[in-house]
């Protein structure tokens, strides 16, 4: 019984994680993030997997939130990231996609 519960819990987690990133994909596309970023390869900006690797084991959510809002340069190269205000991506959505990126 315990093994069945664990398998069901693991499957539910896997499905919810996939669904969470699928939702994040929609938000990232709508906000225009995918024009410069991709999940697994550098485009203009870094790949989301590279961002996740850089901040692995750290609570970087607030730092990344601030970076998206204010923009910046120098972390992944010389091409600056322009600021992205709440008119492009709302606070709640931004927090959700940052969490999804950091989990990827």
Parse the chain into domains and list their residue ranges: 2-103
pLDDT for residue 60 = 97
Q: At what angle do helices 91-103 and 2-31 cross, to 10 degrees?
A: 130
Pick the CATH number of 2-103 from 2.60.40.10, 3.10.440.10, 2.40.50.140, 1.10.760.10: 1.10.760.10
pLDDT value, residue 21: 61
Asked whether residue 12 carries a pLDDT value surpassing 90, the answer given is: no
Q: In the structure encoding, which two tokens stand for residue 19, read together? A: 């669904």
User: For residue range 39-79, what is the model confidence (pLDDT) as tens digits?
Assistant: 999 999 999 999 999 999 999 999 999 999 999 998 899 99
- Kindly tell me if the per-residue pLDDT of 93 is higher than 80: yes
User: What contacts 5, CB < 8 A, 6 or more positions away?
Assistant: none
Structure-block tokens of residue 66: 């601030």
The pair phi, psi for residue 75, each rounded to 5°, is -80, -40
CB 77 within 8 A of CB 36: no
| Average pLDDT over every residue of 4-16 | 35
The yes-or-no verdict on residue 88 having pLDDT over 70 is yes
Looking at the chain, the whole-number percentage of residues with pLDDT higher than 70 is 79
């Amino acid at each position: 019984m315990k093994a069945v519960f664990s398998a069901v819990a693991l499957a539910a987690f896997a499905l919810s994680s996939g669904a969470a990133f699928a939702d994040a994909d929609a938000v990232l596309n709508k906000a225009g993030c995918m024009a410069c970023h991709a999940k697994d390869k550098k485009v203009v900006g870094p790949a989301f997997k590279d961002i996740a690797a850089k901040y692995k084991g750290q609570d970087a959510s607030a730092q990344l939130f601030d970076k998206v809002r204010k923009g910046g340069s120098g972390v992944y190269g010389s091409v600056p990231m322009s600021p992205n205000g709440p008119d492009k991506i709302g606070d709640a959505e931004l927090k959700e996609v940052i969490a999804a990126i950091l989990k990827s």
